[in-house]
Amino acid sequence: MDLLEELCRAPGISGCEGEVAEIMRKELKKTCDEVTLDGFGNVIGRFGKGAKKIMLVAHMDEVGFMVKHISKEGYVSFIKIGGIDDRILLGQRLIVKAKKGDVPGIVGSKPPHLQQGDEKKKVVKHEDMFIDIGAASKKDAEKLVEVGDQIIFEPNYGSYSKDLKYGKAVDNRIGCYALIKVMEKLPKNLNATIYAVGSAQEEVGLKGARVAAYKLNPDYSLALDTTLAGDTPGIKETESSLKLAKGPAVTIMEASGRGVITHPKVREVMMKVGKAKRIPLQIDVLEGGMTDAAVVYMTREGIPSGVVSIPTRYIHGPTAVFSMADVNNAVKLTVETVRKL
């Protein structure tokens, strides 16, 4: 199993990132002078000793679920962790990461054959769904799972071609993978201190990056994350013109300004690097969605920040699709931007 597949298959909803953190720690130890785990669950690698401090951050957590209640019949009710569309849930295969081992489950609800009138026209809400884990009673179910267990989409990973890949938790394990590769490629004589941060709990409020940025107080920061590709039916180019295999995206603004507004200097450096190194780039202006950069750039007295985004289809679902060419170019763009900063 290669590193990217290992990252995508690993479990790690917000607040339960331990297995992903261990992969990050192990890989960053190969290149960094020091790797630590802070009190919040962030993995922080330090590289170099220069006066200028640059923080690179990729969040480790994925969207998922948590056991909320077990019925007398043995069915599991759940809450969502992170933004997940209820419309994709029915029939999905999930894994409950229980203390005694993995427990498979299937999301169910009242079948359409038995629905009446307007019921058939409504989207079933997740609170009206349940997870069938094959238990005959609450007593049977409690032998397998308990309230508070994390639940993930069934792990998967594969290829359409040499370039196009798909898998679970692509948001943001491809950012984590890119961060590891950036640290491998940074020149040893760089006159700066680089911090590689695998952040926790991004999907539920950008929390880990806020903690790490306050502690490190860097001069600059770049977030490595995914963004929405618009090259599928039903999406207008005015909504998203980003395409797979056309290069990483330089984010200008997130969430109509509620998220990061990329610092002009950082943006200029990224655009010049792309042109000079012939790295294909796309421009990302988002009405919705934020990355860790949204909180980093407001930390302390303000930290000039930017985002290197990898276009991805179907994020926040059981399987997302991405281009390895975009991932590799995101690595190249980040390395060269760090050199210039």
Which of the residues are catalytic? Answer: 202
Burial class, 261, CB count within 10 angstroms (exposed 0-12 / middle 13-18 / buried 19+):
middle
3-state secondary structure of 194: strand
Place of tokens 């029915």: 90
Q: How far is CA 30 from CA 35, 134, 181, 185, in A?
A: 10, 43, 11, 12
3-state secondary structure of 249: strand
Query: What CA–CA distance (Å, rounded) separates 292 from 91?
Result: 32
Q: Give a three-class secondary structure readout of 39-67.
A: CCCCEEEEECCCCCEEEEEEECCECEEEE
Distance of CA 17 to the CA centre of its chain: 11
Do residues 16 and 175 lie in contact, with contact meaning Cβ atoms separated by under 8 Å? no
Query: What CA–CA distance (Å, rounded) separates 162 from 150?
Result: 33
Beta bridge partner(s), residue 195:
46, 55
Query: What CA–CA distance (Å, rounded) separates 158 from 19?
Result: 21
Tokens of 244: 């797979």
Longest dimension (CA), the chain: 70
Q: Which amino acid is at 66?
A: M
Q: Tell me the DSSP string of 86-115.
A: GGGTTT-EEEEEETTEEEEEEEE-S-GGG-
